[in-house]
Amino acid sequence: MREKTRRHRQLEILDKRYELSAFEKEELQKLEAGYEGELIFDGILEGFIHGTNIVHLKDYNFHPEVVDARLLTRPEAEAAHVQIDNVVIAKDYLYTFEIKNYSFDLHHRDSQWFFDNGGEFADPLVQVVKQRSMMGKLLDSVEGRIRMFNVLVFINKDQTYSTCPRAMKSS
């Protein structure tokens, strides 16, 4: 069973008690959209793995001992925590799925992501690269015996993105 994060639950409670700041409202909306996207993905995945011996871990969290400063997406004090939306283990394969439920369109060009209006958007692949690196460190003792695939999923059926990076294109 997937659960809302502590911060998500806190903001929901605070929203009922007083007027949230603009920043808090935006944070709550992002958390709600993310949670909804994860539930949609869970439903799709369950259809494939129900009745099998495939393991599905939701919101997998761990604290790696060694953090590569180049992979940090947050301040170093917070970086000792890795959260992966979905980890799927099937035989000697491990898949990670990072779910994005964006309600806006994106464009990719010159190794950068942009909104429709041309404003720059933070690269969502940075998180996937960090997860791969940290999960690789965690599985270091079994490396070579487990093949790992890391996938970024844009779950919102109404969202479009164009000219995605080669690493994202399916074959």
pLDDT digits (tens, 9 = 90+) for 100-124: 999 999 988 888 899 988 899 999 8
- What are the sequence ranges of the domains in the chain? 6-168
Across 12-163, the runs of DSSP E, i.e. the strands, are: 55-62, 82-90, 93-100, 106-109, 112-115, 120-121, 147-154, 161-162
Task: For residue range 35-78, list pLDDT tens digits in order.
Answer: 999 999 999 999 999 999 999 999 998 876 655 555 555 555 55
Q: Which pLDDT belongs to residue 68? A: 54
Three-state DSSP class for residue 5: coil
Whole-prediction pTM value?
0.81
Residue 171: the pLDDT is 33
| Order of all β-strands in the sheet with 93-100 | 55-62, 82-90, 93-100, 147-154
Rounded percentage of the chain residues whose pLDDT exceeds 70: 83
